[in-house]
């Protein structure tokens, strides 16, 4: 997809990967509808976007609320005339074991991480179908493909749902020319600052582990590449596909104590 002149909605655009995606797509010439639940962060990213010479607006949005997402679609399309790309990056993440999690915690994370993606797809896909094209990218994680960390059980469950939903959505929208992708990056081991993380992809055999610094800008570059090539699975580390294949080969052994 040629991005110059296209209109992109980015949820979770106020920080981290969402903000990096908004800025990277603006650098490609796309106009941006930035959505985030934090007004201060939203205003800051819109100021950055305006200095890039593209059209941009910021809409305060909580993707766990139906009314917020309806307003995002209504106001975004009214301001820009159309939406060509939707980037779903808004999510909640916290470490807690099954024993520590209350049902309210499960409901919060599912409402935001999974049903937030469903809400935005329902809001924006119809006009993409009507116009005969578009692209929806949703952030999952490598932990959703290989969910083996007890401390992220709720997060990984929600993001596994994002992958399943995206696969079904891709099949549903393909006849109309609308592409669907999921972004999966490695485990976030240590938060460094607003732009950088240490990424560790846990191996599936004893002692097999890699760890490297990953920037939000690097991940955003992969999103741009995924848009250009209409790739369904966008991995931050090419070795992730090998680890995934190895995991599935050994899946039948995991129920044995």
Q: Please, which residues have CB within 8 angstroms of residue 89's CB and are 6 or more apart in sequence?
A: 10, 11, 12, 13, 16, 17, 18, 21, 139
> Could you confirm whether 155 is annotated as catalytic?
yes
Buried b (16+ CB within 10 A) or exposed e, 78-98: eebeebbbbbbbbbbeeebee
> Could you confirm whether 141 is annotated as catalytic?
yes
Cβ distance 226 to 181 under 8 Å?
A: yes
Two structure tokens written together for 210: 């890699």
**Rounded to an integer, what distance in angstroms lies between the CA atom of residue 66 and that of residue 9?**
17
> Could you confirm whether 91 is annotated as catalytic?
no
The one catalytic residue among 56, 91, 141, 236:
141
Q: Is 108 helix (H, G, I), strand (E, B) or coil?
A: helix
Q: Distance between alpha carbon 79 and the CA centroid of its chain, in Å?
A: 23
The one catalytic residue among 64, 159, 181, 236:
159
The one catalytic residue among 155, 166, 185, 187:
155
**Rounded to an integer, what distance in angstroms lies between the CA atom of residue 187 and that of residue 144?**
10
Bridge partner residues of 135 (DSSP): 85, 179
User: Residues with catalytic annotation?
Assistant: 141, 155, 159
């Amino acid at each position: 997809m040629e991005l110059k002149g296209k209109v992109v909605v980015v949820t979770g655009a106020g920080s981290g990967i969402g903000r990096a995606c908004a800025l990277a797509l603006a650098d490609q010439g796309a106009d941006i509808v930035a959505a985030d639940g934090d007004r201060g962060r939203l205003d800051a990213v819109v100021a950055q976007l305006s200095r890039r010479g593209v059209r941009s607006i910021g809409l305060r949005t909580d993707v766990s609320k139906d009314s917020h997402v309806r307003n995002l679609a209504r106001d975004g399309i009214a301001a820009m005339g159309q939406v060509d790309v939707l980037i779903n990056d808004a999510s909640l993440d916290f470490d807690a074991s099954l024993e520590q999690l209350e049902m309210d915690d499960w409901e919060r994370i599912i409402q935001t991480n999974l049903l937030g993606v469903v809400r935005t797809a329902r809001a924006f896909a119809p006009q993409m179908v009507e116009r005969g094209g578009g692209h929806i990218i949703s952030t999952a994680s490598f932990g959703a493909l290989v969910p083996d960390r007890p401390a992220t059980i709720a997060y990984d469950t929600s993001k596994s749902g994002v992958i399943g939903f995206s696969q079904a959505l891709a099949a549903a929208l393909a006849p109309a020319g609308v592409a669907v992708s999921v972004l999966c990056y490695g485990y976030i081991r240590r938060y460094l600052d607003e732009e950088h993380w240490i990424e560790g992809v846990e191996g599936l055999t004893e002692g097999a582990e890699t760890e490297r610094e990953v920037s939000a800008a690097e991940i955003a570059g992969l999103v741009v590449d995924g848009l250009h090539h209409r790739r369904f699975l966008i991995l931050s580390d090419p070795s992730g596909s090998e680890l995934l294949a190895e995991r599935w080969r050994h899946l039948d052994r995991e129920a044995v104590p």
